[in-house]
Structures are given as C-alpha cells and as structure tokens.
Amino acid sequence: MGATETDERTERPRFKRGRSAWEARVRHEAQRLRADLASCTRSVAASGPRAAVDSDRLLRIGEHLDHADEVLDQHFQRNGPMRLFTAGHTYQEALASVYRASEDLILVQSDEALAARLPGLRAAVRSYLSADDPRREIYLLRIDAALTTVGAERLAEAARLAARMSEQRTADVDDVADPGG
C-alpha cells in the first residue's frame, strides 16, 4: 500500500510552455511603451491647445498596444501545430502594432524624453522608413528640433556653470589678496 500511495502522489512531469523569445520581445517593448505612454498622458493633460490632438493620438497608441496584446493572446490559445504554422504572421502583426504605437508616441513625447532616445531613434527612422514615406521627414524634423533644443539648453547650462565658477574663482582670489578685508 505504501508503494501505491507514493505512485499516486507522484505526478508525471508535464511540459510547460515557456515564453518564446519573439513573444518576450514584443511584450517587453509594449510594456516599455505603456510606461512612456503613462508619462505622456500626465504631461498632455497639463498642456494647452495641443491637448485635443495629442489625447486622440494617445488613444490610438493605446489601441495599437492593446491590438498587439490581443494578437499574442489569441495566438497562444491555439493548439500546437496551428501555433507553429501562424507564428511568423503573429509576430509580424504584433510587432507592427507596437511599431505604430512607438511612431505615434514620438509625436507626443516631450523634447527631453526624445533627447534621451535620439541616437537610436534617428538611426531607426533612417533605416526602417523608406525615403518616400511621408512620416520620415516629420519624424526627422521632430528629432532635429529636439536635438537643437537640448543642445541649446546644454550650452546655456554650461555657460551658466562657467560663469559661476569664474565668479567663485574671482571671489576666492579677492579673499586671498585681501584677508583682512
């Protein structure tokens, strides 16, 4: 009886499907975009005349991300052979939705948020969007405007810092030259 109880309690190991690399990539990118979307939603609510246009665009971004999740969820509800047969299409459709969301997010993000992504962003626009794509010029102009703004702000901050350091050195020299004061 002891041997039978042990056999009944011991279940055969079952194969558990792990996340595929492409699913993880799409979900991770969508998760990152959702975090960016949340920060944009807060800043758009505070902005003025562009708020209506930006809020519509934010809704579209959310719809693109929801579509990507829906495509992945439907894919993994299918049986094994069907998943194998449709994996490529599912990946392309989900990733396209994520890319559309990412493209629209560029148009509503602040210049500071764009500045953090400029090197990779500019390279991606130039390599993924064809020269005749009308969005390409809009995105490149927006990236260049952000780069110019950030560059000017950094230059102004460096000038302020240099002026402060110069004033401090002058004050230190004056203190050393006239200790009794």
> Is residue 69 domain-shared with residue 121, that is, in the same domain?
no
Last residue of a domain, one of 81, 109, 137: 109
Identify the residue whose tokens are 């969007």: 129
Q: Alpha-carbon dihedral of residues 92, 26, 70, 126, nearest 10 degrees?
A: -50
Helix (H, G, I), strand (E, B) or coil at 80: helix
Q: Under a CB-based contact definition with an 8 Å cutoff, are residues 135 and 129 in contact?
A: yes
- Gap between the Cα atoms of 44 and 90, Å rounded: 32
Q: Are 111 and 150 in contact (CB under 8 A)?
A: yes
Give how far the C-alpha of residue 171 lies from the chain's centroid of Cα atoms, to the nearest Å.
46
- Single residue among 85, 109, 133 that ends a domain in this structure: 109
Identify the residue with better confidence: 15 or 111: 111
What is the amino acid identity at position 63? E
Residue 131, in any domain of the structure: yes
Measured CA to CA in angstroms, residue 169 lies from 74, 86, 155, 161, 181 at distances of 67, 69, 21, 12, 17
Asked if residue 4 has pLDDT above 80, the reply is no
* Mean pLDDT value of segment 5-32: 71
The pLDDT of residue 15: 45
Does residue 11 register a pLDDT over 60? no
To the nearest whole number, what is the mean pLDDT of the chain?
80
State how far the Cα of 53 lies from the Cα of 102, in Å rounded to an integer: 17
Q: Which of 109, 136, 158 is the last residue of a domain?
A: 109
pTM higher than the cut 0.95: no
